[in-house]
Structures are given as structure tokens and as C-alpha cells.
Chain A
Amino acid sequence: MEQLEKLENQSIFIIREAYRQFRSVAMLWSIGKDSTALLWLIRKAFYGRIPFPIMHLDTTYKFKEIYEFRDKYAKEWGLDLLVYKNEKAIEDEVGPSKRKFECCTELKTNALKEAILKNKFKAIYLGIRRDEHGIRAKERFFSPRDEDFEWNYKEQPPELWDQFKSKAKNEEHIRVHPLLGWRELDIWEYIKKENIPIAGLYFAKDGKRYRSIGCQTCCEPVDSSADTIDKIIEELKTTTVSERSGRAQDKESAYTMQKLRSLGYM
């Protein structure tokens, strides 16, 4: 079996395991390449009838193209789209111009907390990958969070073969990571193979393209002339720049991502 097929089959298996175990679930869609690929896999796993909501955490700082893409495909794919904002923080003018750490925590992590509490979700699907960031490389496929949403990375549960964790009493929810074993290059090769629609921001315009997309205020495009999927794949095979080099929250200090994640960040 080819590598992409292996990854696809493994991801679909994980997606189905989580739904069977928790039923009350949702998927977090950032409208970026990874979570859009995850959404594609979820559509496949459930034969086009996704039995749970697809959630977008709207910081209000996203790109215009991202909102357009979201609305177009939510309609086309018949998604049960849930949009969550941390209204209070937005009112209090929490924003990226002040502290980035606080902004990520308030507008993303706390918006997610509210959404989970309100909807009583037991598990959330996320499109994070191990090769994105050293901290994410330490993740499990099923990763528990406690009532404060903290990730206890020092005491992660064993995950033997494909026997995944069920939710224990002291655990608030389980993060499910079906794409953990995919690399950036796999994602793009899969997008190509399956012809998955993808936001235009990833393709180069005037010598620059976005390689990883977050809020408009906190991500920078990289130098690139790759304006097609094939060229992106070619670029990734030779680049010496890391994927998240344009993402501000990774850079504030060496352990910002670790701290953000231990508080419940994606």
C-alpha cells in the first residue's frame, strides 16, 4: 500500500473510533489546508453525511478569503457549521496588538472552552500534525484534557497499537488527532490526489505565499513562486525553511507553544 493510502486508511479508522466512543463530538475547522484535509477525510468516513457539527473559532482577525471559503464549502458540503467567538474578550478589546499570548489564549483557547461547555462535547477532532512543531510531535492520537483544559504532557496515557483512550471521570474532553502522522508534504500530495479545494492564500502572488495560515495579524507570507499545487509540492521537497516560520505565536519565546498548549491551545 502506498504511503498516502496508508495514512488515509489510518485516519479514517481513528475518526470512526472517536465517533463510536464519544458520539457527542465536533470538528475544529480553521479553514487551513490541514483541517480542510481532515474535513475531507471525515466526509469520506461518514459517506458524505457528517453526523456532528463542524466548528470554526472566529477570532475576527481571519483573512477575508478564509471567511468566503468557509461559507462556500459549508453550503456545498452541507455542513452543520458552528461559529464561536469570545464575545466578551472582543468587547474588552483583547487583540494581537497587545500581548500575543493573551490574544491566542482568549480568542482561541477560551472560545473553544465556551463552545465545549455549552455543547457538552466529549471529544474534538483537530488537524494538528507531529511534523509541524516539536511540541505537537509529543502528542497522542487521543489526548485527554482536564477540567481546566490543561494538557498534562508529563503524564500522557499509554497508547498501545490502535487501542485509544476512553474518557475518564476527571477528564473534561479528549482531543482527537487523526492527522498526527501526516507530514506537510503528505497533506499537499493528498490535496492533489483527491482534488480537495483549498484557500487561495496558499498560492504565490507577487513572489509570496502563505505556508501556514492563522490570523491575518499574526502570520507572514514566505518568499515563494509556487502558484500551483505541483509547484508547492516541488518547493516543499527542497525547502530549508520550516513550515511555521511565519507564525508569530511560535516565536515569542522558545516555549510559548508549550505554554499555550498546556493551557488548552490547539
Chain B
Amino acid sequence: MNSQLKFIIVGSVDHGKSTLIGRLLFDTHSISADKVDEMLKTAKKLGRSTAFAYLLDHLEEERRQEVTIDTTQVFFKTDKREYMIIDAPGHVEFVKNMVTGATQAEVAILIIDAEEGIKEQTRRHAYLLSLLGFNQIIVVINKMDLVGFKQDRFLEVQKEADAFLGFLNIKPLFYIPISAAEGDNVVEKSKKMSWYKGKIFLESLEVLKERKSLEDKPLIFPVQDVYRIDDKRIVVGRIAAGSINRDEEIKILPSGQLTKLKSIEKFGQDNVKSSSVGESVGITTCDPVFLDRGDVISSSKYPPHITDTFTADIFWLVKEDFNKTERLTLRCATQEIACEIQSIRERIDSSTLRVIEENADVLKYIEVGRVQIKTKKPIIVECFNDIEELGRFVLVRKENTCAGGIISGLAIS
């Protein structure tokens, strides 16, 4: 108990993401009276009937245009556990905000309008979720009130979605027919869809699992910084996988030096014997080895891979095209290094999944590229499916993040 599950709601613009969250908060009494008041007043002032979206869409522009611009995070609680809900914008303009939200979530809800069915953005969001490694997805088919709560229509949309998601290797845990505006099958079971025997939305959330912790993996400790405190040199960072124990032999990468861990340093705690994944700690070593940001400390027996060449799927998030002759900066864990994209094997339309071009020279806004990357010097990486922290990276151009990437294969020399 006392842990929090973070989930994101994605899908096309106007399919009802903000409304669903508003309904969820309202029906579970998770919002304060003065906020409900403010929401109803604002809705009235703007002459709208469905007010729930206003709980989240807080920017003036969002309320006037009825579209979510930036990601919002809100909290919510049931008897079983606590949740953080991330509301992602559905408009194509704001894909970078959706991706920002998704990288902070553990599970995802895909929402589809029963009347409209699958749209361009539904497919794009689903594709991005698959790239980002989401394996727990719930599909809600919303606005059932607009199709007369008919089972036929639900089954039709479900079939269409299943075919597309199957192609992406996504197997949704549930398909749930709901009406967020009217409250059917969100927190209360619908009286108008007695044909649906499955879990309603709130129940379905309770069976979701948190992402597996990487505690049992070999140690990965990316160095963040080095502090001199009195006569100690404390190497600080956050443990990305495994655990760290005093007196244990460790290996420093990329140099390959071996040394022993002398102490684990946490302010206000003496004699710390071990720390594990997720902890921000400091360490000191027995030998006076040189360590700096970007080094990775690992277990001496099972060190991660070092390479300067790997394949990856990258998604291009900014309006200015990428041209193959450009050099970019790659950031992976605390490593930062210049890189070139040697080849764009496939340039993919992120909505239709169609290969636009093979061996391309450019990559454009919100396209996905299957690429080969070469870094200036070897770096410490892993495939995303093995160790997430070393298998994901961002590409930076002029101090701005322009793409995210997931490593799919390593060239080991």
C-alpha cells in the first residue's frame, strides 16, 4: 500500500480525455467544493453544458477553445490505492506534450469516441505508446450515449481497434464502453448497457500493476556529480538498477577500472550498508579513482555494454526537419555526447505506420525514424527491453530536446 500508480489518458482530440478525468474526480469526490464551484461557474460563463473538462483544462485558451494544450497531472485515490492521472493533449500540435506525459506514466488508457471511431491521432498515440514500451493498456470507448448505448457499435469499434493494436503488438487488458459526460461505467455501472458484463473503468484501474522494479538486475549507477565535503570525495547519483553494498567490488565504465566501495553516504545517516534501485545516494571508493559525470558504476561481474554504434527508433518532436548531415547531442542517463545519425533506414508516418521512404536523408515533424546512430566515443548503453535507463535517450539541438529514442539493437565489436 501507499504506492502510487501513474497512468496517462491518450487519444484523439475531442474524444473526451479531460471529461473522463473530470468525471472520475467528481464521482469519487476527489475534488474540493470550491473547485467544483469554480468549474460550474466558468462553464456557465462560457455557456457550455459539460463542465468536467474545466477541472483540468485550466489555461484560459484551453477553456475557450475546448482543447487541452499542455499535460496536466492530478491526483486521485480509491480505497485500494492512490493514482496520479496524466491528461495528455489530443491535438496533433501538442504531440510533444503527450510524449512528455507518457514518459512519466506507467500504464496508459486509450480513449476512442464511439461515434467517430479511430482517428489519425488515436493511431499515432497508440504507436507512440508501443514505442515507449507500454505493455498495460486499457481501451475505453467513450460517448456511448451518442450511439444509443448500442452493443453493435461498441463491438464494431472494438474490432477495428483490436486489428490496429494487434499490428503494434499491443494486447489491451480491457475494452470498456463508457459515457464520461453522463457517467456510465466510469465509477457507476451503467443501467443503459446491461449487455456489458465486464469491469467498469474504476474497477479496471485497480487491477493494473506498477512497472516492475529493476532491483534484481546487476548494479547500474550513473554518476551525476562529485562533491568534495571535508576530506571526502562523494560521488553522487541515483541507482538505475540493482543495489549497491558496502565493501563490494565495483567496475567503473568506460575506463574499466575496478575498485571497492568504501562507504554509502546519505545525509543524517551513519553506517549505511546498502542502497537499492531508485535511491539518490553518494558513495566513496577505496582507491583514489577519477570519476566524473557520465561515468557508470556497475557490478564487476555483469557490466553493461559499451559501444559507439547502435540502432534505435527515434521520434522527431520539433517542427524544424532533421537533416542527416547534422550533428546532434545525445543524452542517455547522465552521459552526454556528440553523435551522428549514420542512416535513416526507414522514415515512418507515425499515424498510418506507412514507410514513407527507405534510406532517407531527412526526418520531419512527428515522424518516426528507424536509425543507426554513431556516437563520438563509445558509451554505455543497453537495449531498452533489458535496462530502460540505459536504453532510452534524447537528442538535443541547440540546447533544446528535439527527439526521443529507444535503443533496439547494439553493434558489439
Tell me the residues in window 140-179 of chain A with beta carbons closer than 8 Å to chain B beta carbons: 140, 153-154, 156-161, 163, 165-169
Stretch of A52-60, A103-111, A239-247 that contacts chain B: A239-247
| Interface flag for A83 (CB, 8 Å) | no
A167 and B103: CB pair below 8 A? Answer: no
A160 and B404: CB pair below 8 A? Answer: yes
Report which of A153, A166, A183 forms a contact with B59, defined as CB distance below 8 A. A153
With both beta carbons as reference points, the residue of chain A lying nearest to B73 in the complex is identified as A130
| Interface flag for B377 (CB, 8 Å) | no
Q: Which residues of A contact B99 (CB under 8 A)?
A: 158, 160
| Interface flag for B135 (CB, 8 Å) | no
Among A43, A158, A163, the most chain B Cβ lie within 10 Å of the Cβ of: A158
Report the Cα distance A239→B41, complex, angstroms: 21
A154 and B84: CB pair below 8 A? Answer: no
A-B contact count (CB 8 A): 143
Report the Cα distance A160→B234, complex, angstroms: 28
* A9-B100 contact, Cβ under 8 Å, with A153-B59, A163-B331: no
Report which of B42, B100, B267, B279 forms a contact with A160, defined as CB distance below 8 A. B100
Q: Which residues of B contact A3 (CB under 8 A)?
A: 2-4, 82
Report which of A2, A19, A168 forms a contact with B398, defined as CB distance below 8 A. A168
Q: Which residues of A contact B97 (CB under 8 A)?
A: 156, 158
Tell me the residues in window 201-259 of chain B with beta carbons closer than 8 Å to chain A beta carbons: 213, 224-225, 227, 229, 234, 236, 238
B3 and A157: CB pair below 8 A? Answer: no
Tell me the residues in window 246-260 of chain A with beta carbons closer than 8 Å to chain B beta carbons: 254-255, 258
**B306 CB, nearest partner CB in chain A, Å:** 21
* A16-B34 contact, Cβ under 8 Å, with A165-B399, A255-B60: no
Report which of A9, A154, A183, A242 forms a contact with B238, defined as CB distance below 8 A. A9
Stretch of A85-93, A131-139, A224-232 that contacts chain B: A131-139
A160 and B75: CB pair below 8 A? Answer: no
Report which of A1, A8, A44, A241 forms a contact with B32, defined as CB distance below 8 A. A241
Stretch of B64-72, B158-166, B295-303 that contacts chain A: B64-72
Report which of B38, B74, B265 forms a contact with A254, defined as CB distance below 8 A. B38
| Interface flag for B317 (CB, 8 Å) | yes
**A187 CB, nearest partner CB in chain B, Å:** 13
A161 and B392: CB pair below 8 A? Answer: yes
Interface size on A, residues (CB 8 A): 53
| Interface flag for A46 (CB, 8 Å) | yes
| Interface flag for B358 (CB, 8 Å) | no
Report the Cα distance A165→B268, complex, angstroms: 31
**B105 CB, nearest partner CB in chain A, Å:** 11
Report the Cα distance A133→B401, complex, angstroms: 27
Interface bits B389-401 vs A (CB < 8 Å: 1, else 0): 0001110101111
Size class of the B contact interface (CB-based, 8 Å): 35 or more
Tell me the residues in window 276-292 of chain B with beta carbons closer than 8 Å to chain A beta carbons: 278-280, 282
Report the Cα distance A5→B276, complex, angstroms: 12
Q: Which residues of A contact B33 (CB under 8 A)?
A: 240-241
Report the Cα distance A12→B75, complex, angstroms: 22
Tell me the residues in window 174-218 of chain A with beta carbons closer than 8 Å to chain B beta carbons: 181, 183
Q: Which residues of A contact B238 (CB under 8 A)?
A: 9, 13
Report which of B35, B59, B96, B401 forms a contact with A163, defined as CB distance below 8 A. B401
| Interface flag for A49 (CB, 8 Å) | yes
Among A138, A167, A254, the most chain B Cβ lie within 10 Å of the Cβ of: A138
With both beta carbons as reference points, the residue of chain A lying nearest to B282 in the complex is identified as A47
| Interface flag for A99 (CB, 8 Å) | no
Report the Cα distance A258→B99, complex, angstroms: 24
| A residues in contact (CB < 8 Å) with B | 1-3, 5-6, 8-10, 12-13, 16-17, 19-20, 43-49, 130-131, 133-135, 137-138, 140, 153-154, 156-161, 163, 165-169, 181, 183, 239-242, 245, 254-255, 258
